Amino acid sequence: MDQFAIAGLQLEVANQDNRPAIRTQVERIKRSFPWVEMIVVGELASFGSSPDHAEPAGGETEAFYRELACENCVWLVPGSIFERDGDEVYNTALVINPQGEMIARYRKQFPFLPYEKGVSAGSDGVVFDVPNVGRFGLSICYDQWFPETTRNLVWMGAEVILCPTMTNTIDRDLELCIARANAGINQCYFFNINVAGSLGNGRSVVVSPEGIVLHEAGTRTEIIPVEVDLGLVRRVRERGVFGLGQVLKSFRDSKVEFPAYALDQRRSAALEALGPLVVPGPLEHKPK
């Protein structure tokens, strides 16, 4: 089966328990669009942006979503939650199958530093398989700004990238460009599902493996049901974007090594000259 139906849920949320609203919307999606097989929610939609709600793996919130997925017989990616592991807190995306089983968990590799304080970085890319459909990869918000994260997921076989997001800043328009670029240069579907309300400015976007915007949402609560075609992903990767660039084959066959990706060489003189990773202070206005 090449076709698979995914609904992005762009939800208006606040710094509170938003799980009842998520339950209501998941049930609404299944009533209105019974053909939808997966639902993807925005980053940290459950409680908002505070890590005070961090829970250990297998906690109450995971149990809530496992039950919700099972009751509605749907694949559920309920955005991300803060996960406590010893002294560390991670921003973790969950994947639950229609039987209510936890299939995958992904820890955000690039917390939004220096603003996302007290959150540790994950180290592993995560993909998962939907049986008889294809392979999906997980990304969270700021991860998308690092093209290496998407390329690594595609190298692992991902054909669809799910990227829950919480953006309420003026760079949202640029993120839409990044989503298109990530989809186009990796020939994959890219679901960048933002939150709305007091914590997000919406404008979720779904992009095809040829970099075409299939839908851009508004700024309020919105349901985005899209049927993806994994056969299209495979054709585009084989034949090229619009029958032109066969990017992944060229990357596979290239003999070029990239020193910037070697951990022991990453701190180049040019990058060291940028200074420490801190919140910018006031500009200095020197006398003319």
What pLDDT, in 10s, does the model give residues 165-201? 999 999 999 999 999 999 999 999 999 999 999 999 9
The candidate with the shortest Cα–Cα distance to 8, out of 220, 173, 225, is 225
Concatenate the DSSP letters of all residues of 122-141 into one string. Answer: P----EEEETTTEEEEE--G
Encoded tokens for 59:
């906690």
Q: What is the pTM of this model?
A: 0.96
User: Own/partner pairs for 213-221, CB < 8 Å, 24+ apart?
Assistant: 213/176, 213/180, 216/176, 217/8, 217/10, 220/10, 220/12, 220/196, 221/10, 221/11, 221/12, 221/25, 221/196, 221/197
Concatenate the DSSP letters of all residues of 246-275 into one string. Answer: -HHHHHHH-----GGGSGGG-S-HHHHTT-
How confident is the model over 139-148, as a mean pLDDT?
Answer: 98
So what's the pLDDT on residue 86? Answer: 96
Q: Are 219 and 200 in contact (CB under 8 A)?
A: no
Q: What is the DSSP letter of 142?
A: G
CA distance 246 to 87: 45
Angle between helices 19-32 and 60-72 (to 10 degrees): 10
So what's the pLDDT on residue 285? Answer: 79
Q: For all residues of the chain together, what is the average pLDDT?
A: 97
So what's the pLDDT on residue 109? Answer: 98
So what's the pLDDT on residue 259? Answer: 92
Residue 131 pLDDT level (bands cut at 50, 70, 90):
very high
How confident is the model over 145-159, as a mean pLDDT?
Answer: 98
How confident is the model over 214-236, as a mean pLDDT?
Answer: 98
So what's the pLDDT on residue 137? Answer: 98
- pLDDT > 80? residue 286: no
Per-residue pLDDT tens digits for 37-78: 999 999 999 999 999 999 999 999 999 999 999 999 999 999
Residue 283 pLDDT level (bands cut at 50, 70, 90):
confident
So what's the pLDDT on residue 231? Answer: 97
So what's the pLDDT on residue 59? Answer: 96
So what's the pLDDT on residue 288? Answer: 73
- pLDDT > 80? residue 271: yes
C-alpha pair distances (Å), 257 with each of 142, 157, 186, 251: 26, 21, 19, 11
Per-residue pLDDT tens digits for 198-216: 999 999 999 999 999 999 9
Domains of the chain, with CATH numbers? 3-233 (3.60.110.10)
The candidate with the shortest Cα–Cα distance to 107, out of 134, 75, 140, 135, is 140
Residue 7 pLDDT level (bands cut at 50, 70, 90):
very high
Residue 116 pLDDT level (bands cut at 50, 70, 90):
very high
Residue 124 pLDDT level (bands cut at 50, 70, 90):
very high
The candidate with the shortest Cα–Cα distance to 82, out of 128, 117, 113, 114, is 117
